[in-house]
Structure 1
């Protein structure tokens, strides 16, 4: 794990821009100075991969471990069957046990890149599943022992419930139980692992506070909660979502190259903030990068892409993605599955319209589809947006590496002159 230079965990997460709310930061600071506490974050198994919207939470667990505290990754096989209503206008789709188990196994691989589960010391991470205790609960006994501690009035005031009701969207009794079970998770994790801290996004504040309160009512030592900002881009878009879909963390869901390109395409206004949150570069180095202006800021974007990709996928994969982005290909099937298409100078002739070239190299199914993509601002040549569907591509447009053509952020091809005509 990399060294950190700030004096303590709480100061670190404030400096990097993670910290949004804390239930009792003064007493939590004292506790963390006295003993190596445990902290957890829960992740439901709703998809085969987490996306970059979950990356802040993963970085918090990684940082917690770097400071010598034990991170607990809670995978919610049980709560996945209910669905967290937070931030949703309708109920989540109910998954089968087989789908949940498959998603859980896939998600596990992400955490292995960021957190150490075999470091052999007090900070060794733990992976648990709330099905271990929630499935054993007897409903009547649970209601009798814990139901009296939950106020319906208070639950109705929680954002996850209130916002759904204000929009006149249905909230099922099943979903209404979600915060009750999440609160019980916190108490159970204290009993099993001595866990005193729950972390999560700001949309989880109500659920976290409910767990802290339940702990107090059933006689645990004081529990604490921390939330981070829900990250949006400078344009207001939700982090992790793009026009082409989610930016997944698992390589089998999104190629390393496209993951690298996501960070490389960060808006100028977001670069410094994302360097603080999604890399481990020292703040002093980030402050220097913050001075870059105009075209020079592309250097900072490349560093962001490199560092974020290295953390998630490793050094070797990052270097391969960087080479692919620079147009350095070694054979017909290029790095990370990006194909190279060879074309003769005779085929290009006096010039080939871009919409025809797109179809010829297999990036679209027809010339008309090519035109629609260009009209929809979905085509780039050498990373430059194309707006003229009849733009002529000529032989002298090819550089040494070739001509990189992209359709959206998931389809890429390097077009090169055939060697026999070079």
Structure 2
């Protein structure tokens, strides 16, 4: 038996493992169900690697099913051993609460909460946090044998390097989550990354042990997203690509997607966007026949920036990109300039008036005074988007944006930010 949604997920490369493919297809064809995906608040923002399971869950919502978004206020205090070689640094209760708040805001951008099958936000601290140790051991500790737990990859891989009882117990706590959502929210499916297979199947085992009658619950995992060359996806020159605009600005976010390699872009369109199969196949032809136009990258960057940051932020990111491409910085506000140039080479200089020749040599823009004069008279030097061709020009406070920085451009592409101290 097949299901149209599951077939679409397979086409997009979003299905790695299923606990019962035929059974799930039958259930999805017969009824609308609840599905959940969890994220632990190890930081106050998710990065783009986190959102693949969430976007997959959103696809289920678009087909009439109800997404349950679990933020692990309790499990975040424990630490998931999956994919790790050492113990996680424990965080304070206050930091966990702050992280939960940040992640919930981001989830609210991705999902629809106002429709009949509106998303539900839950925090497992609401049912785990009040549980006593005796209740945990008596009601749940007896459900799983130690040998069963030791056989799970996320534990077995840590036995040599060492694993605490705290992290060893993580899979049982996640199993309690699945059972709680099954009983109270009609949740039939858990979705997670490929490293969550052990935790998901443990949850199914807990559900089976807690219910006398045979129940139908399922698990799906999603493959790890990689680049065509096999390297890890989701890193830029500045590190992880975050959903928080304070950590990764909308412009930087947009640039990350626009710079996707031709070999990866169709794969990412399938995984990350909600474009139809027909639209993606059309863009795939464009990659093959007109790669220089980069239509697929443009669509990917626009879809993702709009989804995570909104239309206004997307418009700003496009405006910054166009201004940098044309070299016409007058199109940008001061804040946009600061955003666009925060990663370009920078130097610190004193707040004092100085002849332009001396200024650009000291800033390292030109290699010598002779070269500086040549650059200026040839029209190769611009201050904050304004070309300066007079070698007698005095650089003063009027050239300082917010009295803090100046953007110098030499030629078409070489930018330097001068920060005033």
Q: Does residue 37 of the first structure (1) align with residue 33 of the second (2)?
A: yes
Greater Rg by CA: 2
What secondary structure sits across from 1:149 in the alignment? coil
**Number of aligned pairs?**
365
Q: How far off is 1:415 after superposition?
A: 3.9
2:339 corresponding residue in structure 1: 338
Alpha-carbon distance between aligned partners in 2 of 1:414 and 1:275, rounded to the nearest angstrom = 35
What secondary structure sits across from 2:74 in the alignment? helix
Q: How far off is 1:299 after superposition?
A: 2.8
2:241 corresponding residue in structure 1: 247
Greater CA deviation, 136-145 or 51-60? 136-145
1:178 corresponding residue in structure 2: 170
2:191 corresponding residue in structure 1: 199
Alpha-carbon distance between aligned partners in 1 of 2:125 and 2:283, rounded to the nearest angstrom = 46
Q: How far off is 1:288 after superposition?
A: 2.2
Alpha-carbon distance between aligned partners in 2 of 1:129 and 1:195, rounded to the nearest angstrom = 15
For structure 1, the residue ranges without an aligned partner over 5 or more in a row are: 1-5, 360-389, 404-411, 418-422
Pick one of 92, 97, 104 that aligns with 2:93: 97
The CA deviation string for residues 312-360 of structure 1, in whole angstroms up to 9 with x for no partner, is 111221121011111165345153743689xxxx9479x968981299x
What secondary structure sits across from 1:263 in the alignment? helix
What secondary structure sits across from 1:42 in the alignment? strand
Aligned-residue Cα RMSD (Å) equals 3.2
1:311 corresponding residue in structure 2: 307
**Normalising by structure 2, what TM-score?**
0.79
Paired residues of 1:257 and 1:336 also in contact (CA < 8 A)? no
User: Relative to structure 1, is the Cα distance of residues 339 and 325 closer, same or farther in structure 2, using a 3 angstrom cutoff?
Assistant: closer
1:221 corresponding residue in structure 2: 215
Q: How far off is 1:413 after superposition?
A: 8.7
Paired residues of 1:338 and 1:413 also in contact (CA < 8 A)? no
Pick one of 15, 32, 37 that aligns with 1:19: 15
1:28 corresponding residue in structure 2: 24
The CA deviation string for residues 57-92 of structure 1, in whole angstroms up to 9 with x for no partner, is 121121111111100000111011110000011111
2:397 corresponding residue in structure 1: none
Q: How far off is 1:396 after superposition?
A: 5.3
User: Relative to structure 1, is the Cα distance of residues 358 and 70 closer, same or farther in structure 2, using a 3 angstrom cutoff?
Assistant: farther
2:157 corresponding residue in structure 1: 163
For structure 2, the residue ranges without an aligned partner over 5 or more in a row are: 347-354, 387-404, 411-421
**Normalising by structure 1, what TM-score?**
0.79
> After superposition, where does 1:23-422 map in structure 2 within 5 Å?
23-119=19-115, 121=116, 123-165=117-159, 168-219=160-211, 221-291=215-285, 292-293=287-288, 295-296=291-292, 298-327=294-323, 329=329, 330-335=331-336, 337-338=338-339, 347=356, 356-357=364-365, 395=378, 415=408
